[in-house]
Structure 1
């Protein structure tokens, strides 16, 4: 029997939208109807745009301020004194969401952003939302914004994240792994176009020569859709001097791309539409956020190195990824080049990490959503 799903995302970068639209595609492939709605458009006029602009400006120019906001509002660890919450902001979206639900008539509402989870949790707790809500948690470190006990189910990327969700809500949580488009699981560098681009880019003058175990490692540096990161050009320059080929993914930040183009040995790229193909040609991903690019690399068999994570949820996420054995967190003298070289070379280190990475994709969140729609309630969890 076909069901209807309302997926709630937020245009805060590209990661949450990527998850929401991938789930919508999977649900449609199963014969269901699915629509994606941006929670920022449910807020009073101008509020969503201001929230997005403020967040973007903060993470780009005042990352330490965002770290303080994360500690005060979102971190699960207790902070000194009373802690504010997102309840006032969530309350502003409640009536518009109920109007959207009445118009769309979904069988399940699916938040893929933490503010959405607060809105649905509040409404479910009061009995105002008449259908189940299943939160798809995209973070490795589950902060308290994701955790409202009114929601019926949390779908998480790891067992640790699921335990955190259960502990924080007292409600069911299951491990399905990250939600990643299928094209990342068997990536191909069509016609060798990416390999030719990488091989043809000149190294930095005086760069360290290739090692005996291989040529110049191609290292993707992730900066998200907004080109955000700490010391990006410094890291790229260090990798180039060490004999690597740093490929700086600048997202939509043309200024970052222009500045990086002046660095010898560094290959800056704008928004890449064929990221699976580029990952197939690359050797390692250096990541600072434990977000969608990182989990796409896990699917593609590309080792992930966490380095200089952004303050706030990115620090927590990079640390959780490393603790789970899915990545390496490289810090200190000689990093990230030392870890990059270790993982770029064929051998047990690389094999161990890529094997663990592939194993994290344990289930299909769309199948769990389908079951919830069919039952109208959360079925008992399997024995552990």
Structure 2
């Protein structure tokens, strides 16, 4: 946008026929809530098989023509932040039906085989750990370009921390642990909140997302600071001393950008545990595997050298120069020096964005499948894997949009935020 690009945003699930995408999303939610063991089996099965089975691939093929129709003729590049979308785009590229660059932004620190699709031109990674995993799985042209987060997520300055505490009714001199569990509030959130309170090291502050039942249960448990869907996660992060998460999605990246140390604890199965391992390997988030280690880990992150190291590691992920970040890499792919004319979505000629501003590329579109990427803001989602080897359902990745005027994060605004995504 700020760089002169128009951005169109599509959710792949909306492009599947007969409301199949919505049904798949509901099933995915139910699996995480009621049968996490089944989701773990699906995740492990597809990982061992190296990807989705024939039924899942058949379902994705039904979206091909709809994806093509969704792209305006002047589209310059298409960015996927969801494995299923990457496979649709890759197949279109291989068939010659999509003649513009297709990129995958790897939103997680762990890379499941479903993330890597043949035909994708470029894979973008947050850190070298997921980049190495992607290369090992055969991904084409992997680049490390850092996270995509709203610019509001940054370390607190001056009196911002004190003001944030006052805003949320948090007391000075008390240490607080921010507990997040995605927009659905999945996982053993009540248990973790109780354990944090019982260990006496920090007071839990819980964000439940859209899970109103969970918020009521936590209030009945005596947890004092409980929030539902909130549009002020930057201030909430400034107000707290450490963040406890269970999925490793965008909220973790936002915490890194805010200078808030992160711990992974009692993670949801599948991508939650895989992300915890990758974050721990990268040295940006401590993974607590046993309840006995919780008090010491929280203490070291809030007051010890571990916390100082992790703050520095997290902040180092955010490019100091926006020209080195994901949006610039996407824009670079969108506008190569020369591209032969072809039918279908293609690069538009340079155009002036406004009088007196030559060279602005306002006529160029970045088509995005599932979430947008712009020169200033971009969105990302946490991983949601597709299906078992022969399972008939495509599991959902919930979209996240960073919007300066309407943001809800208990993991997005007007749409679920990735920090609140499972």
Q: In which range does the TM-score fall when normalised by the shorter chain? A: 0.7 to 0.9
- Does residue 277 of structure 2 align to residue 319 of structure 1? yes
The residue number in structure 2 matching 1:299 is 257
Deviation string 1:100-139 (CA, Å, 9 cap, x unpaired) is: 12x3531101101111101101111111111110111101
**Which residue number corresponds to residue 222 of structure 2?**
264
Residues 215, 337 of structure 1: alpha-carbon distance in 2 compared, 3 angstrom cutoff: farther
Write out per-residue CA displacement over residues 328-367 of structure 1, whole angstroms, 9 at most, x where no aligned residue: 001224242321121111x422111110111122431110
Instruction: Identify the match of residue 149 of structure 1 among 118, 124, 143.
Output: 118
**Cα distance in structure 2, aligned partners of 1:376 and 1:325:** 38
**1:67 offset after TM fit, Å?**
0.8
Q: Deviations over 1:59-97 (max 9, x none)?
A: 111111111111122x2x558xx9625322220110101
CA RMSD for the aligned pairs? 2.2
Check if 1:89 corresponds to 2:59.
yes
Specify the SS of the correspondent of 1:220. Answer: strand
CA distance in structure 2 between the aligned counterparts of 1:66 and 1:126, rounded to whole angstroms: 32
Q: What count of residue pairs does the alignment treat as equivalent?
A: 331
The residue aligned with 1:43 is: 16
Aligned residue in 2 for 1:206:
none
Q: Which position in structure 2 is the counterpart of 1:59?
A: 32
Is residue 127 of structure 1 aligned with residue 96 of structure 2? yes
| Structure 2 counterpart of 1:99, from 69, 75, 81 | 69
Matched, 1:31 2:1: no
Q: Structure with the greater relative contact order (CA < 8 A, sep ≥ 6): 1 or 2? A: 2
Q: 1:241 to 1:164 in 2, by over 3 A?
A: closer
Give the TM-score taking structure 1 as reference length: 0.81
Deviation at 1:376, TM superposition (A): 6.8
TM-fit CA distance, 1:193? 4.6
Give deviations 1:31-63, integer Å, cap 9, x for gaps: 111111111111002111101111111111111
Give the match for residue 331 of structure 1.
289
Given candidates 346, 354, 360, the residue that maps to 2:317 is 360
Contact 1:236 1:266 in 2 (8 A): no
CA distance in 2, matches of 1:108, 1:355: 34
The alignment status of 1:199 with 2:173, answered yes or no, reads no
The answer to whether the aligner puts 1:349 opposite 2:309 as a matched pair is no
| SS at 1:140 equivalent | coil
Distance 1:323 1:223 in 2: 21
Give unpaired runs (5+ residues) of structure 1: 1-27, 201-213, 379-384
Matched residue SS, 1:273: coil
